[in-house]
Amino acid sequence: MNSMNIHEILKYLPHRYPLLLVDRVISYETGKDIVALKNVSINEPFFSGHFPHHPVMPGVLIVEALAQAAAILTLRTENTTNKEDTVYYFVGIDGVRFKKPVMAGDQLILKVSIQRQIKGLWKYSARAEVDDQLVTEAQLMCTSRNV
């Protein structure tokens, strides 16, 4: 079983605080799938405005966390690391469903599997869970571009 700590993750993602949304990779199999986690702390900057009386993680950030896990899987599959002249972009997000709010103190488990890869376009099936309960699911499509 392959895993990655935060120091290894930083080699694969260009994101940094406050937009780095993967704390650990629990396991991955190149060309297949990844399981990662995000510890959702009350100290997250978005909680001060979303919502002060009921801190809920914004759904778009859950989808972004899934995309970051997908990016790590893609780079591991391509046997490369983050390059300053390359950026991975969303090209599609389909079937997004939010089943349950993610609250401060939750541990978000990110599960992403590669569905297909054609001519630089990657399609993934993604789901986020808290305490083994589905909170978000989506189909993600991403590609890389030189900048």
Pick the closest to residue 96 from 116, 130, 67 (CA basis).
67
15 catalytic per annotation: no
Encoded amino acid at 55, one letter: P
The Cα 64–Cα 58 span in angstroms is: 10
Residue 93 backbone class (left: φ over 0; alpha: ψ -120 to 50; beta: rest): beta
Catalytic pick among 7, 50, 53, 54: 50
Catalytic residues, by residue number, are 50
